[in-house]
Amino acid sequence: MLTQDDLKRQAAAAAMELVLEVLAPDTVVGVGTGSTADHFIDGLAAHRGRFRGCVASSERSARRLADHGVAVLELNEVDSMPVYVDGADEIDSNLYMIKGGGGALTREKIVASVARRFICIVDESKLVDSLGAFPLPIEVIPMARAAVARRLSALGGRAALREDFVTDNGNVILDVHGLRIIDAQAFERQINDIPGVVTCGLFALAGADIALLATQRGVRRLKAPRLGET
């Protein structure tokens, strides 16, 4: 029986195989945040001489990359990236995700938006029929914390301030419990429209392109339905 961490390592190794196909001396790789992304960083570091460097979605991942001797670039120095690799807290069959358990959702969304492909690496516990059992993280400007919490309560959620946590951008996180997310894209838009919200941890307007789902019987590759059969 493989542990959850073994499965995370396997998902990361499967992503590494896909990333190796695009590595060239000028390639920049987008790198996510979390324990699964850490495994990916460790695997990628073995190939550090073969590509230009990485853009990291958090200070934590940037440190890990730098400790491995991988060049860490500012996003402003980079026009495009072939791929962004990151974990998720939940993912559904549309490859819509909830992210931000590690609090890095804003930079994750930004870096992913510049990459041509989002590869999501998860163990099988993260695959859900519908999103929302995992409390939805929302990054909020500190002065708007109470106002945003009231608006979320009107949408049926219970917003809890993540204690003793400040994001890399100097903001706070509200973790929203009890949401029934039926139309994830519409819900993401609705939350994005609340003044004071910096980023919503729903990644549905731009979900993953590929998910590598590590199971006890091997790694399954799922493709976003919007990409069709090609």
Active site residues: 108
Q: Which is nearer to ligand 5RP, 63 or 150 (CB)?
A: 63
Question: Strands 83-86 and 28-31: what pairing?
Answer: parallel
Q: Give the shortest CB-81-to-ligand 5RP separation in angstroms.
A: 17
Rounded to whole angstroms, the Cα distance separating 146 from 87 reads 29
Rounded to whole angstroms, the Cα distance separating 116 from 21 reads 14
Q: Contact at 8 Å (CB) between 97 and 203?
A: yes
Q: Within 10 A of 130 (CB to CB), how many other CB atoms are there?
A: 13
Total residues binding ligand 5RP (CB under 6 A): 18
Residue 171 φ then ψ, to 5°: -110, 180
- 196 touches ligand 5RP by CB under 6 A: no
- 32 touches ligand 5RP by CB under 6 A: yes
Determine which residue in the list 14, 31, 34, 119 makes contact with ligand 5RP, applying CB under 6 A.
34
- 53 touches ligand 5RP by CB under 6 A: no
- 43 touches ligand 5RP by CB under 6 A: no
Binding stretches for ligand 5RP (CB under 6 A): 32-37, 86-89, 99-105, 108
